[in-house]
């Protein structure tokens, strides 16, 4: 008992040591308490509060070191016993230990994969995903994801024999709806690793399980979970190459347009739609008619009297903005009849709904081309005319009467609205009519050239980019030789020369850098 107490005290001190342990201290600890001693102690049940958790935390820290990870191959049988333990804490430790083994090896090293296969560990990890609590299931899922980085593991994770019990399709077929969502989550994680693994996921047919699960259930929670997975899937760079886009678009259309669909499902479906159609290469694999149908579904939802949820309205507007961030997408949201972008423009200058106005201004900036290369900001003639008419119509129906009045109103609001306004003007000023409107209000020029207007780093840079875009448009326009615009040109040129953060006249302006903006 005294030895157990000594082990507990040492393990507690090691586990709670502030900062990282160096390799020397790890070796000294294991010289004093070899791994077999710690493993045997874990199988006992001493009357010491927190004993198991302390030893598990200690072992986790040990195995995350180079020296500790190098010892794992010697104890694979013990690890296998740990994977079959009743304790969820020990199971989680065993999964994390296998993860440490895999992450310590080069992906071309076949020995680690062989250790996992030869010791029957992979089937145990799969079993954890469907039969354990969330923590153990997640640890097992992360371990399998790490295993999938190894080319030699492809035949293990994606067996050629369709009747293999470890085939993920078969695994999903024999488990509960909750466990099936975990399997689907694993599939998305595997898909995100690389194009090679995504190709294997596609070839195995398991990607179709997401759509099948959506169509085969009326459980709202399951539907929301699968939609969340689709949202993660669309974030993957190579998703447009492998995800069956046309059928997914049809599914999203049915959810957004469905009369029996709940608001949360609609909201998530619209967010997925925006992310899906924000990729330029998407139009190589889907028909334009499918995209138009999806835009029409979102347009219809914004027209619906049932769409009174602010979050859903913002999601719909944001989705239209993401769709319009590509050249083809901008053409479509501006050229449909009536143009879906009318909702974006109307909300962008509506001061009565702050959140919706903010989302709409960012969406309008995307549609106008702020995120596109400068050479691609202008879209086709019909879409450009639609954009111009929408903004002039919005102005005519407001108290400001002109677009210049609307622009100035935006730049006189809160800092986050101004930031979105800078983005919008940066893109719109590529159009000659917009440059004329901006120059019509000297107050706009005063704001965008004033280095003291903003204090946050991201806002300073947005103001500067807007100023620079206006100056570039000014130089390319017919105003350079106009003596009435001489002071405006000089003011813009001086502001561009001074940079985003300060001017010679105002040394007091300094960027307030938030933690997330510094990296």
For 179-230, the pLDDT digits (tens) are 888 888 998 998 898 888 888 888 888 888 888 888 777 778 888 888 888 8
Give per-residue pLDDT as tens, 315-345.
899 999 999 999 999 999 999 889 999 999 9
* Residue 238 or residue 392, greater confidence: 392
Q: What is the DSSP letter of 432?
A: H
Closest CA to 502 of 458, 466, 446, 464: 464
- All structural domains of the chain with their residue ranges: 1-157, 244-399, 412-501
CA distance 341 to 362: 12
- Residue that has been written with the tokens 């028909």 in this structure: 287
* pLDDT value of position 451: 84
203: its two tokens: 């070839």
- Residue that has been written with the tokens 């047919």 in this structure: 205
CA distance 266 to 304: 13
Check whether 362 has a pLDDT greater than 90.
Answer: yes
* pLDDT value of position 105: 74
* pLDDT value of position 400: 79
Domains 1-157 and 244-399 share a fold: yes
* Residue 307 or residue 53, greater confidence: 53
DSSP assignment of 44-68 equals: S--S-TTHHHHHHHHHHHHHTSHHH
* Residue 452 or residue 512, greater confidence: 452
* pLDDT value of position 515: 57
Q: What is the DSSP letter of 284?
A: G
82: phi > 0 → left, psi -120 to 50 → alpha, else beta; which? alpha
519 pLDDT band (50/70/90 cuts)?
A: very low
What CATH number labels 244-399?
A: 1.25.10.10
The size of the chain, in residues, is 519
Cα 460–Cα 464–Cα 465 angle in degrees, nearest 5: 120
Give per-residue pLDDT as tens, 415-448.
899 999 999 999 999 989 999 898 888 899 998 8
* pLDDT value of position 55: 85
| 146 touches 125 (CB < 8 A) | no
* pLDDT value of position 331: 92
| 431 touches 378 (CB < 8 A) | yes
Q: What is the mean pLDDT of the chain?
A: 84
Q: State which of 70-74, 110-114, 199-203, 385-389 shows the largest mean pLDDT.
A: 385-389
Neighbours of 19 (CB within 10 A): 5
Check whether 477 has a pLDDT greater than 90.
Answer: no
* pLDDT value of position 288: 85
* Residue 399 or residue 109, greater confidence: 399
Which helix H or strand E contains 33, and what residues bound it?
none
Cis bond leading into 293, ω under 30°? no
17: phi > 0 → left, psi -120 to 50 → alpha, else beta; which? beta
Long-range contacts of 372-377 (CB under 8 A, 24+ apart): 372/325, 372/326, 372/327, 374/430, 376/327, 377/427, 377/430
Q: State which of 119-128, 349-358, 418-427 shows the largest mean pLDDT.
A: 418-427
Check whether 75 has a pLDDT greater than 70.
Answer: yes
Check whether 6 has a pLDDT greater than 90.
Answer: no
Q: What is the DSSP letter of 202?
A: H
Span of 144-153, 267-276, 474-483 with lowest mean pLDDT: 474-483
* Residue 483 or residue 7, greater confidence: 7
SS3 label, residue 513: coil
Check whether 510 has a pLDDT greater than 70.
Answer: no
* pLDDT value of position 353: 84
43-66: average pLDDT: 82
CA distance 498 to 504: 7
93-114: average pLDDT: 79
Q: For residues 109-140, b (16+ Cβ closer than 10 Å) or e, as one string?
A: eeebbebbbeeebbebbbbbbbebeeebbbbb
CA distance 126 to 98: 14
* pLDDT value of position 1: 43
Q: What is the pTM of this model?
A: 0.77
Query: Which percentage of the chain shows pLDDT scores above 90?
Result: 18
Question: According to the CATH classification, is domain 1-157 in 1.25.10.10?
Answer: yes
52-71: average pLDDT: 85
SS3 label, residue 151: helix
């Amino acid at each position: 008992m005294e030895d157990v107490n000594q082990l507990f005290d040492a393990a507690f001190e090691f586990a709670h040591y502030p900062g990282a342990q160096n390799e020397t201290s790890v070796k000294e600890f294991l010289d004093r308490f070899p791994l077999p001693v710690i493993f045997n102690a874990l199988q006992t049940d001493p009357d010491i509060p927190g004993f198991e958790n302390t030893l598990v935390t200690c072992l986790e820290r040990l195995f995350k070191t180079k020296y500790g990870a190098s010892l794992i191959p010697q104890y694979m049988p013990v690890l296998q016993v740990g994977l079959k333990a009743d304790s969820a804490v020990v199971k989680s430790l065993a999964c994390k230990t296998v993860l440490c083994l895999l992450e310590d090896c080069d992906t071309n090293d076949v020995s680690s994969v062989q250790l996992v296969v030869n010791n029957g560990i992979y089937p145990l990890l799969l079993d954890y995903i469907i039969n354990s609590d969330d923590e153990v299931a997640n640890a097992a899922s992360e371990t399998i994801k790490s295993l999938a980085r190894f080319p030699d593991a492809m035949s293990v994770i994606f067996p050629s024999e369709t009747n293999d019990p470890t085939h993920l399709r078969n695994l999903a077929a024999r488990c509960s709806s909750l466990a099936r969502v975990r399997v689907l989550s694993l599939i998305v994680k595997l898909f995100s690793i690389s194009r090679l693994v995504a190709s294997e996921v596609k070839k195995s047919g398991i990607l179709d399980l997401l759509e099948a699960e959506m169509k085969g259930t009326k459980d709202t929670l399951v539907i929301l979970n699968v939609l969340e997975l689709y949202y993660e899937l669309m974030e993957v760079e190579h998703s447009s190459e492998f995800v069956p886009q046309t059928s997914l678009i049809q599914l999203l259309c049915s959810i957004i347009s469905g009369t029996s669909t709940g608001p949360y499902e609609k909201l998530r479906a619209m967010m997925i739609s925006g992310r899906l159609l924000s990729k330029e290469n998407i139009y190589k694999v889907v028909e334009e008619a499918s995209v138009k149908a999806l835009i029409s579904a979102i347009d219809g939802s914004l027209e619906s009297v049932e769409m009174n949820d602010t979050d859903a309205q913002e999601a719909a507007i944001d989705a239209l903005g993401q769709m319009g961030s590509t050249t083809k997408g901008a053409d479509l949201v501006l050229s449909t009849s009536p143009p879906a972008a009318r909702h974006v423009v109307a909300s962008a200058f509506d001061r009565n709904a702050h959140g919706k106005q903010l989302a709409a201004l960012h969406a309008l900036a995307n549609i106008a081309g702020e995120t596109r290369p400068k050479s691609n900001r202008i879209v086709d003639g019909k879409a450009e005319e639609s954009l111009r008419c929408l903004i002039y119509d919005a102005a005519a129906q407001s108290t400001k009467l002109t677009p210049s009045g609307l622009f100035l109103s935006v730049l006189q609001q809160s800092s986050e609205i101004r930031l979105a306004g800078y983005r919008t003007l940066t893109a719109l000023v590529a159009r000659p009519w917009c440059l004329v409107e901006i120059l019509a209000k000297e107050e706009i020029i005063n704001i965008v050239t004033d280095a003291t207007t903003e204090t946050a780093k991201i806002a300073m840079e947005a103001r500067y980019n807007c100023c620079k875009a206006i100056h570039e448009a000014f130089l390319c326009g017919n105003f350079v030789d106009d003596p009435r615009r001489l002071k405006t040109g000089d003011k813009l040129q001086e502001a561009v020369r001074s940079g985003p953060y300060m001017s010679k006249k105002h040394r007091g302006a300094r960027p307030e850098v938030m933690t997330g903006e510094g990296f």
